[in-house]
Structure 1
Amino acid sequence: MIKFEDVQKVYPNGTVALKDINLEIQQGEFVAIIGLSGAGKSTLIRCINRMHDINSGTLLVNDVNVSQLKGKEIREFRKNIGMIFQSFNLVTRSTVLKNVLVSSVPDMPLWRRTLGIFPHEDKIRALEALDNVGILDKAYTRVDQLSGGQQQRVALARTLARKPGIILADEPVASLDPVTAKSVMEDLRRINREMNVSILLNIHHVELALEYCDRVIGIRQGEIVYDGPTDVVDQSILDEIYGKNQPVEA
């Protein structure tokens, strides 16, 4: 479970990104976080894995107080949390398989990291992850020969190879065409349901959020203004999140 209790985040320049956030997310939920650019969506999910530190309040992940973690504790804590980015964050001149195997590097002894020798079980796990997202046939293809959608699947496979309990997705379909975006969202929903992985998705495409996610959290100027099931979201709720007369990206 993820639990925010009166959490605030203020950046060094004085920008208040999160204001008194109170929020609970249960294991296995598929949650979309929506709102205008700069509303605090990315900040919210990046606090969960300590990419950003909070200034006050309490943030618990599976009963662990995230703010109290130090050094090696943070690295151990992050093993259970996968992260997917809009930009994929792949080594494009390397093969798909090697990019997925990167997820094993933190657990490897120095000599293996230095020589790039991965244990057999890590390779099997990486290949299984690629099969799970439908690109096993691309395992030995260079990443720069893949489409954008295929590259995002490589990033997803890299995360799945760690067998996380939580996946944080920061605008994972923003750079994809509509058809490919839907396909990636279908992968995320399937993984959420089949593996009981909690997924928090920061997304601009409201229609995709409403179609694929079970719950929507609407943020405006660092505050939660809506938190509820997707099937009751109507125009009045979107106006509350985005403001009237603001364009809502479909």
Structure 2
Amino acid sequence: MIEFINVEKTYTNGTKALENIHLKIEQGEFVAVIGLSGAGKSTLIRCVNRMHDITGGKLIIDEVDVTTLKGKQIRQLRRRIGMIFQSFNLVTRTTVIKNVLVSFVPDNPFWRKLTGIYTKEQKIKALEALDKVGILDKAYVRVDQLSGGQQQRVALARTIAQNPDIILADEPIASLDPVTSKIVMNDFKKINQDLNISVIMNIHHVEIALQYADRIIGIRKGEVVFDGPSEKVTQEILSEIYGGRLEEIQSSTEERLA
């Protein structure tokens, strides 16, 4: 369970990215965070794994205040939290399976890190993760020979192999075409349901967020202006989240999905 208690985030230049954030996210939820660019969506999810440190309030994960963690404790926290980026963060000049095996490096002894030799069990887990996202047949293909959607699925497989409790996804489909976006979103949904992994996703595409997420958190100017089930989201609520730019956002989404 993740709990934000009066969380604030102010950058060193004085910009207030988050203010008065009160949220509870239970294990197994699929949450989409929506709002305009610069509203604080990325900051919100990156606070969960301490990529960004909050400057006020408390952030609790399973009854532990993560703001008090240091050094090795932070690394242990991050082992439980998978992170998916828009840019995939893969080593493109090596094979798919080697990219997935990277998830085991932090737990390996020094000699394995040095030699790049993995155990049979780790290799099996990597292949199982690739199977879960439907690209087992690409295991020994170089990453730079894959499409953008396939690369994002490799990144997702790498995260699954890590066996996380939580997956944070920062605009994971922003650079993908509509058909591929739906394939990747189906993977996220399946993993969320089959493995009971909490998914917290920052996403620009409103219609896709409403289609796949169970819960929507709307952020405007660093504050939560809506938090509720996807089916409760109305045009009025979207207007509150996006202000005068709602039509622009909807038009952009419709063009992308056409």
Report matched runs for 1:38-53 at 5 Å. 38-53=38-53
How many angstroms does 1:245 deviate by?
4.1
In 2, the alpha carbon distance for the partners of 1:197 and 1:73 equals 21
d(CA) in 1 for partners of 2:233, 2:53 = 31
CA shift for structure 1 position 232: 1.6
Corresponding residue SS for 2:168: strand
- In structure 2, what is the Cα distance between the partners aligned to 1:231 and 1:190? 20
The percent identity for this pair of structures is 67
Report the residue type matching 1:133 in the other structure: V
Q: CA deviation at 1:244?
A: 2.4
* DSSP-derived class of the 2:226 partner: strand
How many angstroms apart in 2 are the aligned matches of 1:37 and 1:244?
14
Deviation at residue 13 of structure 1 after TM alignment: 1.0
**Residue-by-residue CA offset, 1:199-233 (whole Å, 9 max, x unaligned):** 00000000000001100000000000000011121
Aligned-pair Cα RMSD in Å: 0.7
Map of 1:182 onto structure 2: 182
**Aligned residue number for residue 160 of structure 1:** 160
Task: Report the Cα distance in structure 2 between the residues aligned to 1:231 and 1:244, rounded to whole angstroms.
Answer: 22
**Counterpart for residue 86 of structure 2:** 86
The aligned residue for residue 114 of structure 1 is 114
Q: What is the TM-score normalised by the length of structure 1?
A: 0.99
Q: What's the counterpart of residue 233 of structure 1?
A: 233
Q: Which runs of 4+ in 1 moved over 3 A?
A: none
Q: Structure 1 residues 167, 245: CA separation in 2 closer, same or farther (over 3 Å shift)?
A: closer
More helix by share: 2
Letter in 2 for 1:105: V
Unaligned regions of 5+ residues in structure 2, if any? 254-258
Q: 1:111 to 1:206 in 2, by over 3 A?
A: same
Residue 146 (structure 1) shift: 0.1
Q: Normalising to structure 2: TM-score of the pair?
A: 0.96
> What letter matches 1:229 in structure 2?
P
- CA deviations 1:59-103 (Å, max 9, x no partner) are 001111111000001111111110000000000001000000000
